Structure 1
Amino acid sequence: MTMTSKAIEARTPRHLLDRLLDAPDPTLAVQRLEPRILHQLIRTCGLEDCGQIVALATPEQLMQVFDEDLWRSEKAGKEDQFDPDRFGLWLEVLVDAGVEVAAQKLAQLDFDFVTAAISRHIFVLGAGSIVSGRDVDEWGVDSEIGGYRIIARRSEGWDALTAVLGCLDDDHQEFFQELMKRCFLLSTDYVEDNGILYDVLAPEEQIMSDVAFDRERRREEQGYVTPAQAVAFLESSRHLGQDRVRQWHHSTLSYFRERGDQEPASAQGWTPPSPDRLLPGQTDGDRPLAALTAQLRFVHEHDEVAYAKRVEELGYLANVLMAGCSFDSRRLSPIEASEAVAAVCNLGLESWRGVDERRQPQAFLAGQDLVAVFRIGWSVIYEQVCLQTARRLVRVLSDLACDDAEVQEQIADLAALLKRQIAAGTPWRARDSLDVIAILDTPTWSTLLGLVDECPVVPKQIGKPADARPALRVAPDVEFISENRQVSWVREFLEFLPSRLSG
Structure 2
Amino acid sequence: MTTSQLLKGPGTRSLLYRILESPEQVSALQHLPPPTLARLIHHVGLEDAGELVALATTQQLARIFDEDLWRSTRPGREERFDAERFGLWLEVLLEMGADRAAARLAEMDEDFVTFALSGQLLVLDLDMLTMDRLRSAEGQEDEALVDKALESSLSHELDRFLLISRKPESWDAVLSVLVALDESHHELLTRLLERCCHHASEYIEDNGGLYAVLTTAEQLETDVAQAREERREREGFVAPADAAAFLGLARSGRVGEDPITRGYARAQQEASRVSPSGMEGAPHGRPVSTQPLLHLLQEAEVLTTQSPTALLGAGGDAGTHASATTLREALDWLQGEAPEALSRCTQELGYLSNVLVSGCGHSGRALRALEAAQVAIATCNLGMEVHPEIGSDRSRAGGLIAREGLVPCFGRGWRVLHEDVVMWSARAFDAALTRRVPAGRGDASRARTELARDIAAGRPWASRRRWVHLAPFLSKAAFAAMRELVDECPAFNGTFLATRQQVEEARRRVEELLAS
TM-score range, shorter chain: 0.7 to 0.9
The structure-2 alpha-carbon separation of the partners of 1:280 and 1:179, relative to structure 1 and needing over 3 Å to count, comes to: farther
The one of 493, 498, 501 equivalent to 2:514 is: 498
**Separation in 1, partners of 2:274, 2:107:** 28
Match of 1:439 in 2: 472
Matching residue of 1:392 = 428
* Partner of residue 255, structure 1: 264
Among candidates 348, 359, 364, match of residue 313 of structure 1: 348
Between Structure 1 and Structure 2, the one with more helix by share is 2
Alignment of 1:402-413 (within 5 A): 408-413=441-446
How much is the aligned-residue C-alpha RMSD, in angstroms? Answer: 3.2
- Pairwise CA distance, 1:390: 0.6
Does residue 485 of structure 1 match 2:501? yes
3-state SS, counterpart of residue 482 of structure 1: coil
1:427 and 2:440 matched: no
**Aligned partners of 2:112 and 2:224 also within 8 Å:** yes
Counterpart residue identity of residue 443, structure 1? A
- Check the 8 A contact 1:237/1:379 in 2, yes or no: yes
Contact 2:234 2:270 in 1 (8 A): no
- Aligned partners of 2:357 and 2:188: how far apart in 1? 37
Query: Contact conserved, 1:397 with 1:411, CA < 8 A, in 2?
Result: no
Match of 1:160 among 168, 173, 183: 173
Equivalent position to 2:487, from 437, 445, 453: 453
Which one has more relative contact order, counting CA pairs under 8 Å at least 6 apart? 2
From the superposition, tell whether residues 294 and 267 of structure 1 become closer, same or farther in structure 2 (CA, over 3 Å): farther
Contact 1:299 1:307 in 2 (8 A): yes
1:301–1:274 CA distance, 2 compared to 1 (3 A): farther
Q: Distance in 1 between matches of 2:391 and 2:407?
A: 16
Secondary structure of the 2:168 match is coil
CA distance in 1, matches of 2:102, 2:378: 46
SS state at 1:456 partner: coil
The equivalent of 2:296 in structure 1 is: none
Count of matched residue pairs? 458
CA distance in 2, matches of 1:488, 1:230: 28
C-alpha contact (below 8 Å) 1:280/1:339 kept by paired residues = no
1:282-331 deviation per Cα after TM superposition (whole angstroms, max 9, x unaligned): 35743303222232233335543222211110111112112221112222
What is the alpha-carbon distance in structure 1 between the residues aligned to residue 202 and residue 308 of structure 2? 56
Measured after TM superposition, the shift of residue 446 of structure 1 is 1.9
Deviation at 1:122, TM superposition (A): 0.8
State the Cα distance separating 1:267 from its structure 2 match.
Answer: 11
Q: How does 1:129-148 map to 2 (within 5 A)?
A: 133-134=145-146, 137=149, 140-148=153-161
Kindly indicate whether residue 194 of structure 2 is the aligned counterpart of residue 181 of structure 1.
yes
CA drift of 1:448 comes to: 1.0
Which stretches in structure 1 are left out of the alignment for 5+ residues?
Answer: 1-10, 460-477
In the TM superposition, what is the alpha-carbon distance from 1:149 to its structure 2 partner?
A: 2.3
- Specify the code of the residue in structure 2 equivalent to 1:414: A
Unaligned 5+ residue runs, structure 2?
Answer: 1-9, 134-142, 278-288, 290-305
Q: 1:351·1:376 contact (CA, 8 Å) conserved in 2? A: yes
C-alpha distance in 1 between matches for 2:237 and 2:185: 34
Q: Matches of 1:222 and 1:77 in 2, distance apart?
A: 19
TM-score normalised per structure 2: 0.80
Give the alignment's TM-score, normalised by structure 1.
0.82
Correspondence 1:335-350 to 2 at 5 A: 335-350=370-385
Aligned to 1:104: 103
Please give the residue correspondences for 1:265-344 in structure 2 after superposition, counting only pairs within 5 Å: 277-279=310-312, 282=315, 285-287=318-320, 288=322, 289-344=324-379
For residue 348 of structure 1, report the CA deviation from its aligned partner: 1.8
Q: For 1:68-107, what aligned pairs fall within 5 Å after superposition?
A: 68-107=67-106
Per-residue CA deviations over 1:152-211 (Å, capped at 9, x if unaligned) read: 11212111111111111111112111112212222334557x9834439xxx977x3310
Structure 1 residue aligned with 2:231: 218
Distance apart, 1:338 and its partner CA: 1.5
Q: Cα 1:302–1:162, aligned 2, differ >3 Å: closer, same or farther?
A: same
Shift of residue 436, structure 1, vs aligned partner:
2.7
Question: Match of 1:475?
Answer: none
Work out the CA distance in 2 between the residues paired with 1:423 and 1:354: 32
Q: Who is 1:472 aligned against?
A: none
CA shift digits 1:3-62 (9 cap, x unpaired): xxxxxxxx9433443333122155522220101111111222211111111122222211
Residues 379/497 of structure 1: CA separation in 2 closer, same or farther (3 Å cut): same
Paired residue secondary structure (1:343): helix
- 1:71 and 1:274 map into 2 onto residues whose CA distance is 24
In 1, Cα distance between the equivalents of 2:372 and 2:146?
46
Counterpart CA distance in 2 for 1:284 and 1:176 is: 60
Paired residues of 1:23 and 1:29 also in contact (CA < 8 A): no
Q: Given residue 43 of structure 1, which amino acid in structure 2 is its aligned partner?
A: H
